[in-house]
Structure 1
Amino acid sequence: PRPLAGKRVLITAGPTHEAIDPVRYIANRSSGKQGFAIAAAARAAGAEVVLVTGPVELDDPQGISVMRVESARDMLHRVEAALPVDVAIFAAAVADWRVASEGSQKLKKTAAGMPPLQLVENPDILATISKLKEKRPPLVIGFAAETEHLIENAKAKFARKGCDWIVANDVSPATGVMGGDRNTVHLLSREGKDVTVDSWPVMTKEEVATALVSRIAREVGTGS
């Protein structure tokens, strides 16, 4: 069965790297495995898939258009250029902040100690796409990676971002999710004004991807 045949699906994956100087950058521990698994599952379901990924050590999945980027701003530009799509899944762990002015030379240690880093907020890719008037994908799915108060924080993010679904997962060090091969997720969606939370069991990231794509197919699929 190819329930997503004829559908175009955009997925973001991995971390972003925000340059401090030519040598150093701000990053996070995202491996990109969950986003890449979703891309492969969507392709297997018949979709045309565009994968926009930050710096990861993963090979390009077969049959998928892959765009590799560094920063949050790069990622947003690539995402906007890929529109229109039928489904957009924002699984990347995008840096919230970047350095206000990237140094053209390596920062040197001095007697005065570390120079202060002034940070500015990065564009919010999920909120930007969710709130588009034109070219907004019919189904926009965000990810909420939390270390505490998972459902409470995910519900707050859901209300704030304007997306259609949120996939919430606990990325506390004890879970081993960041960089690991397994995940435990909760799918938040809306029924009228109520938020529904569907909690899934511990699964491999490939199994999570297959289950999510199956749910997407029920929402937007052709059924062919």
Structure 2
Amino acid sequence: MTILITAGPTREAIDPVRYLSNRSSGKMGYALAETAVKAGHRVILISGPTQLDLPDRVDYIPVESAAEMFSTVEHWIGKADIAIFAAAVADYRPAKVPEQKIKKNNEHMTLELVKNPDILGSARSQFNYEGVLIGFAAETENLETNARGKLERKGCDLVVANDVSRKDIGFDSNENEVLFVFKDRTEAPPKDSKQHLAHLIIEQAFELAENR
């Protein structure tokens, strides 16, 4: 099978030297890529900037911004049997990006932000993707409710949800505790390493693909 995986954060330029981003390390997405490759599958890894070592034998496509990730996913997703969107994509970007560095002239500075394209939400509606679609939900409250809403709005087969307000899991950590939210049920595997959770997610992805 061919598996497309997005990973890492995006960076949205404010000026030539500054950007907006988030705390995603990319560890979950890279663990998924490594697991899928070791299982003998082709992996297309579309990744924002990380400090991680690239897994062997993946087709690696680096991107910077949400707009770049959107267009890259649009180009490649038709080749994938399974698409797993593990990247933490910025919801907004600055409306204007000056060519020169913004000088520190005032006590306050206001940035106008505009919404980025919804990559996961476009998979079914715009990219016409018909394969297995797995999204991630990073939440701080109402974990299962918010994840199920995301699953239904965006046409996912599975949403993997985790509570990013907790200090012991998630961002920068090698461990995570997640919910698997399917169309007909929710499963709660125990807290585990991201590497082992990647195996569980890939197993679920293969099972969904076989049952389509």
Q: TM-score, normalised to structure 2's length?
A: 0.94
Counterparts of 1:27 and 1:55, CA distance in 2? 10
SS in 1 for 2:161: strand
CA distance in 1 between counterparts of 2:183 and 2:46 reads: 27
1:86 aligns with 2:81: yes
Please state whether the residue corresponding to 2:167 is helix, strand or coil. Answer: helix
Structure with larger RCO (C-alpha < 8 A, sep 6+): 1
Q: Look up the match of 1:53.
A: 47
Superposed displacement of residue 47, structure 1: 1.1
Q: Please list every run of 5 or more consecutive structure 2 residues that lacks an aligned counterpart in the other structure.
A: none
Look up the equivalent residue of 1:200 and give its one-letter code.
P
For 1:90, the aligned partner's letter is F
Matched, 1:220 2:192: no
| 1:189 to 2:178 alignment | no
Paired residues in the alignment total 210
- 8 A contact 1:27–1:95 mirrored in 2: yes
Q: Which residue of 2 aligns with 1:36?
A: 30
Is residue 22 of structure 2 the alignment partner of residue 22 of structure 1?
no
1:19–1:25 contact (8 Å) kept in structure 2: yes
* Structure 1 counterpart of 2:204, one-letter code: R
Shift, 1:199, TM fit: 0.7
Amino acid at match of 1:87: I
**Structure 1 alignment gaps of length 5 or more:** 1-6
Q: Secondary structure at the match of 1:95?
A: coil
Native 8 Å contact 1:183 1:204 kept in 2? yes
Distance in 2 (alpha carbons) for counterparts of 1:173 and 1:207: 20
Q: Which shows bigger deviation, 162-171 or 18-27?
A: 162-171
How do 1:20-169 residues align onto structure 2 when only pairs under 5 Å count? 20-84=14-78, 85-110=80-105, 112-132=106-126, 134=128, 136-169=129-162
Q: Pick from 188, 192, 195: which aligns with 1:199?
A: 188
Identity value in percent: 44
Q: Distance in 2 between matches of 1:130 and 1:46?
A: 27
State the shift of 1:153 in Å: 1.4
Please show how residues 5-20 of structure 1 align to structure 2 within 5 Å.
7-20=1-14
Aligned partner letter, 2:93 = R
